[in-house]
Amino acid sequence: MSTVTNDTDLNPTAASLLGYLDVAPMTGWDLDRFVQASIGNFWNVTRSQIYRELRTLTEGGYVKAGDAGPRDRVPYAITSKGRKAFEAWISQAPPPEVIRSRLLLTIFFGHHLPTARLREIVDAERDRHHATLDRYLALEPQLAGVADQRFPLVTLHFGIRYERAMLESLDELAALLDQEGRGGA
């Protein structure tokens, strides 16, 4: 459910959609593609959330729906009210971060799992984080040197460091599991 109640009380999902629409008018489908290729790497936004927020933003006068085009896709454009609301939202200091990681919960309570099962989880997560790191590293040259991509590039660099840190932590856990498997401490 959307929490847009006034010009400065946008939720992050609604605000991110306004940020995209400030670049150019887009359909919900276009927004979903852009989200998944960019902020979807660190901010979970579902297609249903996009359409729900677009409906709420339209009702609030933050965006204007255009005429349906091919496949009945409706383009949305940011309004001056939407631009003003986005500028107010983005200028606020973000609240403190809260890490919510199912993987970290599993590791924390890992003593409840057989070592072999925990090792399977570690191996699968290593593969997943390696694939994400490879995707980020492939994206880096595309953003490097492009003036209007300097802030997304900084965000990408954070993602690269994050994936490397996750891999380092998973390696640490794998070494611990290997040591336990050999009868170590």
115's tokens: 């070592």
154's tokens: 């900084």
CA nearest neighbour of 16 among 4, 162, 158, 143 = 4
Is pLDDT above 50 for 12? yes
CB 25 within 8 A of CB 77: yes
Per-position b or e across 52-89, b if 16+ CB within 10 A of its CB: bbbebbbebebbbeeeeeeeeebbbebbeebeebbeeb
Helix (H) or strand (E) holding 64: strand 63-65
Q: What is the pLDDT of residues 36-65, one digit of tens each?
A: 888 888 888 999 999 999 999 999 999 999
Q: What does DSSP assign to residue 27?
A: E
CB 137 within 8 A of CB 144: no
Output the pLDDT for position 99.
Answer: 85
Q: How far apart are CA 33 and CA 185, in angstroms?
A: 48
CA nearest neighbour of 35 among 57, 55, 19, 24 = 19
pTM of the model as a whole? 0.77
Is pLDDT above 80 for 2? no
Helix (H) or strand (E) holding 78: strand 75-78
Q: What is the pLDDT of residues 21-41, one digit of tens each?
A: 999 999 999 999 988 888 888
The average pLDDT across 129-138 equals 95
57's tokens: 């933003």
**How many Cα neighbours within 13 Å face the side chain of 134?**
6
Please list the residues that pair with 65 across neighbouring strands. 76
